[in-house]
Amino acid sequence: TVSIFWFRRDLRLDDNAGLYYALKGGHPVLPLFIFDTEILNQLEDREDARVTFIYQTIEALNNELREQQSSSILIKYNSTGQAWNEVLAEYDIAAVYTNHDYEPYARHRDAELKELFTQKNIEFYTYKDQVIFEKGEVVKDDQKPYTVFTPYKRKWYDKLKPFYLKPYPTRKYLDNISKTSPFQLPTLKSMGFAESKTHFPDKQYKTIIAGYHEQRDFPAIKGTSHIGLHLRFGTVSIRQLATDAYGAEEKTWLNELIWREFYMMILYHFPQTADHAFKPEYDRIRWRNNETEFKAWCEGKTGYPLVDAGMRELNATGYMHNRVRMVVASFLSKHLLIDWRWGERYFARKLLDYEMASNVGGWQWAAGSGTDAAPYFRVFNPELQLKKFDPKLQYVKKWVPEYADFSKYPEPIVDHAFARERCLKVFKEALSKS
């Protein structure tokens, strides 16, 4: 009899809540990872860098377990339902352990599996791991979820005790992993993917914390951590990050980690916001949705240098600086009046650190339809943003080299003053109907 620990977006052996409880559960633990075909088949890019990242991470974990514990991760490549049918047929299982995932697809999947496990008398234990506070832990005094960030943040700090930051000493119990002969790791090619040559950011974040409040807004310098990818797949522990951030004198970076939890909490309580405006009246906006303009935006050919630089950085690296994400998102939804969901989906395809909760939150913020939104009448001026945040044009010159040669750089796709007026008119029309 074994217990299963199911790795999902927590791909590490250190300080892993679910793995810790599995190891202490009294049965040898068989680790499992499923390459879920329902997710993989939806990816358009057969060289999707995130698939390569997951693959290489699993491979490294597997090698470590093999060398140190003579064990290995059971890998399935199938729909989750099919994969579990196989696992249940192959093993005598006492319990399944895993960590919470708050996205709508994952919640639905886990609810179905819980039923299946219950029918088979298998315990299903799940844990908070990817956030300091989840679901209903930071709520208003009347137990309702916060929908505004600042009071949420205040309550988050009030609630914080050393207990919540304590690491789970997972490695101490790794001997309780079941000894197995190595399982076969299917090749990326056999799953229909090719290895991406994308450079993955490392896990260094400590050096940026102190200067973060002064440097975070300038895309030409590396003033932010680039840790998002590691948070997405759990190759770092949020407890470790929050401990370091809390211990630092400068708390701005910690506040960003709290934004991440705020958006996860919002998506948990308002799952409909994954593809609907948080403020429902914003679903009435009559988007222009011009496909040619959308293509120009995607390719970084709008004639607005900061927008174009951002989109080209995204296309080339899978990353875009936060300040520039705000500018390109505002430009798409307000200047071009293209549905924010088109932009959200494009980011979902391209961002290494794609996180549904933060992406939807960021896009709705930019479009004005979200929780703490920028009001709709505030329309970023991309030229002013450029002057403020890339005054020496270092970022623009890196990504849009032809900008220096005016004859080669396109005219703006739309005039700023005209676009601003058009946006105000269309938004006002939608919002005045209520």
The C-alpha atoms of residue 182 and residue 184 are separated, in whole angstroms, by: 7
Q: Smallest distance, Å, CB 355 to ligand FAD?
A: 4
What are the binding residues? 212, 253, 256-263
Does residue 353 belong to the site contacting ligand FAD (CB under 6 A)?
Answer: yes
Report the Cα–Cα distance between both ends of the chain, in Å, rounded.
Answer: 60
How much of the chain is helix, strand and coil, in % rounded to 5? 55, 10, 40
| Smallest separation (angstroms) from ligand FAD to the CB of 285 | 17
> In this complex, which beta carbon is closest to ligand FAD, that of residue 97 or of residue 342?
342
Please check whether residue 233 is in contact with residue 9, taking contact to mean a CB–CB distance below 8 angstroms: yes
Task: Pick between residue 216 and residue 301 the one whose CB is nearest to ligand FAD.
Answer: 216
The reply to whether 256 sits near ligand FAD by the rule CB under 6 A is yes
Q: Does 228 bind ligand FAD (CB under 6 A)?
A: yes
Instruction: Report how far residue 364's alpha carbon sits from residue 274's, in angstroms, rounded to the nearest whole number.
Output: 10
Check: CB of residue 129 under 8 Å from CB of residue 11.
no
Sheet arrangement for strand 2-7? 74-78, 29-36, 2-7, 93-99, 123-127
Comparing CB distances to ligand FAD, the nearer of 5 and 102 is: 102
DSSP strand pairing (93-99 vs 123-127): parallel
Question: Binding site for FAD: which residues?
Answer: 212, 253, 256-263
Tell me the closest approach of the beta carbon of residue 131 to ligand FAD, in angstroms. Answer: 10
Show which residues are catalytic: 256, 259, 287, 322, 340, 363
Q: Which of residues 311-330 bind ligand FAD (CB under 6 A)?
A: 322, 325-326, 329
Nearer to ligand FAD, 304 or 347 (CB): 347
Q: How far is the CB of 358 from ligand FAD (least distance, A)?
A: 4
Q: How many residues bind ligand FAD, per CB under 6 A?
A: 26
Q: CA nearest 87: which of 152, 5, 174?
A: 5
Check binding of 366 to ligand FAD (CB under 6 A). yes
Site residues for ligand FAD, 40-79, by CB under 6 A, read: none
The 3-state DSSP class for residue 2 equals: strand
Question: Could you give the CA distance from residue 409 to residue 300 in angstroms, rounded to a whole number?
Answer: 11
274, 373 contact by CB (below 8 A)? no
Nearest approach, Cβ of 105 to ligand FAD (angstroms)?
16
Q: How far is CA 265 from the centre of its chain?
A: 13
Does 259 contact ligand FAD by CB under 6 A?
A: yes
The two three-digit tokens of residue 278, written as one number: 């948080």
| Nearer Cβ to ligand FAD (90/299) | 299
Residues at the contact surface with ligand FAD, assessed by CB under 6 A: 216, 224-228, 231, 256-257, 259-260, 263, 322, 325-326, 329, 347, 351, 353-355, 358-359, 362-363, 366
